[in-house]
Amino acid sequence: MSHTPVKVGSRIPAFSLKNQHGESVSIKTFTGKPFVIYFYPKDDTPGCTAQACSFRDAYAELRDLDAEVIGISADSPESHLEFAKRYDLPFVLLSDENNKVRELFGVPGSMFGLLPGRVTYIVDAEGIVTHIFDSQLQTKKHVKEALEHLKKQQVS
């Protein structure tokens, strides 16, 4: 089942997933304010930990821009909870155990399809994607890109 990939200018698809506490969360609860959705391969791997910690370290600055952060991977809610506790992650981690939302967004695989892709989407208050950053290796650049684009959105 293939979907049209989410692009800049697309409205993000509606979905609900369980968070790290096992509660169902609808993405609609985040509209009304800008937010960052980042898809990542796996909890507790070096690149994903570096990426999550960079979002954690910039979280106050992101919140100052009125933005929320949502991390999504195929890990279970239990795995997310351990990951969040271990690294003091203050944001929502959603469990996409069947990769349905990853497919809905059209997030490409990387490393010849062996790893799930690492893609960040910046979404405005109306639920429209304003920027996409796709990089498997530049894990810390995802936050830099998010901050730059959220700041630009505030000015315009």
Q: What stretches of the chain show up as alpha helix (H) in DSSP?
A: 46-57, 59-64, 77-86, 100-105, 141-155
The active-site residue out of 48, 69, 74, 147 is: 48
Residues in contact with 124: Cβ distance below 8 Å, sequence separation at least 6, in sequence order: 34, 130, 153
108 close to 73: Cβ distance less than 8 angstroms: no
Kindly report the three-state secondary structure assignment for every residue of 34-59: CEEEEECCCCCCHHHHHHHHHHHHCH
Concerning whether 53 is annotated as a catalytic residue, the answer is: no
- Nearest CA to 48 out of 8, 15, 76, 75 is that of 75
- Which residues are tagged catalytic? 48
